[in-house]
Amino acid sequence: MKAKYDVLVIGAGPGGSLAARTAAELGLSVGMVEKRPAVGAPVRCAEGIGKEGLAEFVKPDPCWISADLRRAEIIAPDGTSMMLESEMAGSKVGYILDRKVFDRELAWQAAEAGADVMVKTRATAPILEDGRVRGAVLSSCGETRNVEADVVIAADGVESKFSRWCGIDTTIPVREIMTSAQYLMTDIDIDPYTTVFLLGNEVAPEGYLWIFPKGDRTANVGIGISGKKSGPGHRARDYLDRFVASRFPNGKTIEHIVGGVSVCKPLPCTAAGGLVIVGDAARVVDPLTGGGIYNAMFTGRLAAKTAADAISCGDCSKEALMPYDSAWRESPIGKTIARNWHIKEYLIRLPDEKLNDIIHSAASLNMKEFSTLNLVRELMKRNPKLVVELAALRALLL
Amino acid sequence: MLQVHRDICGYCGCCVSVCPEGALELIDAYLAVEDGCTGCGICAKVCPLGALEVVDEGKV
């Protein structure tokens, strides 16, 4: 690692690696640090991503694709099942990744493009000068060193400490952290092409429980619940253990995964002097699904492009980096996050009975072309007693 | 004060993200509690595994 880079990236998840690769491809000198001893491990993710989105960043490779999905099944609180076939779901179909291999591939690509990569190296403080970020203090295997950079890209995930040290409040409200637990289970009866989402206050309060296939008889079985609903005896792991004991009593757990996912609004501002914040650290997770891989890669790449523009103009002030903030907010991901935050707020307030009603009539629909708005229109026709709730939802979609 | 049950902790960082004081730091495979901790217990509430506990100073 050099003493000075054009761009220093904190964190080597998908957001950091895309930032590092893009910046290096644009001819900048890049350093990327990862506090863990291995990129990609331990996993803290359910590993789902849409096919089309993924292909914007990397050529799909069977080495890191665990399952190629055909449909999604949504199970109502009362057990009613609703199938979303891939023909209906359009771009919603996706893959379940093997994040350990996927994250490494992205880090390799960043390295191959010319970025320096250091693992087991942790940023412990920003270097601040005249109110702007000038680099970071790095701690690596007991040694501390200062590394300067024109732009630091904070890709430090859900913890998001680097930005906090720079004076930006990244605290996630308790009710908007999805506290999550997941087992990678094998020897279980599942459909290897179907993702399953179970809803309901008993199953997963203000969240959902998922079964994401990872090949034959193997799946990520996990749950996220609102931090507000978590406490002694009713934590994410308690809910998961109860579900697994009844649904997969003979399954074998070969990996134990925990994590936190933000479902809050993104940070009010994701750029500062010499600093750009991307991915989970910027709270750009989809608040409805909890999906964050695509959004991290999207913001990572955009951050690097904006940094390159700023560096070429010799101005890395907040004003020069703000185009990053406005660009992602105006992009499809920014709009989807804004809309899905409202839909999430709507859904978590629905009692189980209303959710059952909605899923019952949705399950009986035979829609040729699936769109959320179409779905709500059809539901309104069939559910006069839900018209108030559905009208509120429709208003969010228009 | 906050006690970390290291044998339960999954070092996932969920607690770090909700700490209003920024007093938690996930360092590789362990969680460090820094000086700013007020013992508010938010982290203990959200921990997916129940690895955190606010205990009386006298009992430690």
Does the A66-97+173-262 domain belong in CATH 2.40.70.10? Answer: no
Domain that includes residue B18, residue range: 2-59
- Taking only the tens place, the pLDDT of each residue in A260-315 is 999 999 999 999 999 999 999 999 999 999 999 999 999 999 999 999 999 999 99
**Least confident stretch, A97-101, A146-150, A248-252, A352-356:** A352-356
User: Looking at the partner chain, which of B15, B27, B49 has a beta carbon nearest the beta carbon of A235?
Assistant: B49
3-class SS at A260? strand
- A161 touches B at CB < 8 Å: yes
Contacts of A172 in chain B (CB under 8 A): 17-18
Q: Please state which CATH class domain A4-44+100-171+267-330 belongs to.
A: alpha beta
The ranges assigned to domains in chain A are 4-44+100-171+267-330, 66-97+173-262, 340-397
**What CATH number is given to the structural domain containing B12?**
3.30.70.20
A232 close contact with B: CB closer than 8 A: yes
At A381, the pLDDT band (50, 70, 90 cuts) reads: confident
- Complex confidence, ipTM: 0.96
Give the mean model confidence (pLDDT) for residues B35-54. Answer: 97
Judge whether A158 and A259 are in contact, CB under 8 Å: yes
Place A382 in a pLDDT band, splitting at 50, 70 and 90. confident
Least trusted range by pLDDT, from A68-72, A108-112, A117-121, A131-135: A68-72
Instruction: List the single residue in B18, B22, B47 with the smallest CB-CB distance to A164.
Output: B22
At B24 the pLDDT is 98
Count the domains in chain B.
1
Q: Report DSSP letters for B25-46, one per residue.
A: EEETTEEEE-TT-----HHHHH
Average pLDDT along chain B: 94
User: Could you tell me the maximum CA-CA distance found in chain A, to the nearest angstrom?
Assistant: 67
Residue A276's CB: how many other CB atoms inside 10 A? Answer: 31
Instruction: Please give the Cα distance from A237 to A242 (Å, whole number).
Output: 9
Residue A89 — pLDDT band, cuts 50, 70, 90?
low
- pLDDT confidence of A90, banded at 50, 70, 90? low
Residue-averaged pLDDT of chain A: 94
The secondary structure element, H or E, covering residue A78 is: none
For residue range A94-117, what is the model confidence (pLDDT) as tens digits? 999 999 999 999 999 999 999 999
Q: What is the pLDDT of residue A88?
A: 63
| Chain B partners within 8 Å of A262 (Cβ) | 17
Chain A: give the shortest CA distance to residue B40, in Å. Answer: 12
